[in-house]
Amino acid sequence: MVAIGPLRTQLGTTRYTAPYVELEQGSDQNDIKLRWPESLSGEVSITIRADT
């Protein structure tokens, strides 16, 4: 996971932080969730490897 540009709070302050991930989410357990320490806006890019 990498941020594409700044991650900002509702007030527009840039935050330098990272999320933790929750795997195997959703009814089919094929979703992930990124959990941030606070409400942020911005864009991230994620590469996921799925082995069976």
Contacts of 16 (CB under 8 A, 6+ apart): 7
Please tell me the predicted confidence (pLDDT) of residue 52: 73
Q: What angle do CA 22, 25, 30 make, to 5 degrees?
A: 115
Every domain of the chain and the residues it spans:
2-45
pLDDT in tens, 3-52: 999 999 999 999 999 999 999 999 999 899 999 999 999 999 999 887 87
Whole-number pLDDT of residue 49? 85
Q: Give the pLDDT of residue 11.
A: 97
